[in-house]
């Protein structure tokens, strides 16, 4: 349960969908998008989910500045699958 909201859909999948909608966004934009939907999440939880998604090879996270990160979807071509 996040805040007063019970999630039936895993938060990791919701975050991945948000990133896929734009292909690239910053961590602060992601937090703002989640807050607009009424999902309160701590920065530590976001960091853990982003790390999991990066380990799975679904996203790439790069530092843009001292306190801002760029999150982007990893594209997979057919040649990579062979």
- How high is the pLDDT of residue 27? 94
CATH number, domain 11-81, options 3.40.50.300, 3.10.150.10, 3.40.50.10190, 1.10.10.10: 1.10.10.10
pLDDT digits (tens, 9 = 90+) for 20-74: 999 999 999 999 999 999 998 899 999 999 999 999 999 999 999 999 999 999 9
Domain definitions of the chain by residue range = 11-81
* Contact (Cβ atoms closer than 8 angstroms) between residue 29 and residue 68: no
| Residue 76 binned pLDDT confidence (cut-offs 50, 70, 90) | low
- How high is the pLDDT of residue 4? 47
Structure token pair of residue 54: 């990066």
Closest CA to 73 of 25, 6, 38: 25
- How high is the pLDDT of residue 75? 82
Could you give the 3-state DSSP secondary structure of residue 76?
A: coil
């Amino acid at each position: 349960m996040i805040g007063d909201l019970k999630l039936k859909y895993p938060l990791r999948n919701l975050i991945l969908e948000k990133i896929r909608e734009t292909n690239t966004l910053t961590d602060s934009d992601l937090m703002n998008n989640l807050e607009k939907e009424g999902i309160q999440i701590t920065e530590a939880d976001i960091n853990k989910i982003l790390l999991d998604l990066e380990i799975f090879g679904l996203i790439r996270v790069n530092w843009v500045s001292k306190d801002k990160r760029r999150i982007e979807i990893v594209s997979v071509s057919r040649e990579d699958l062979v």
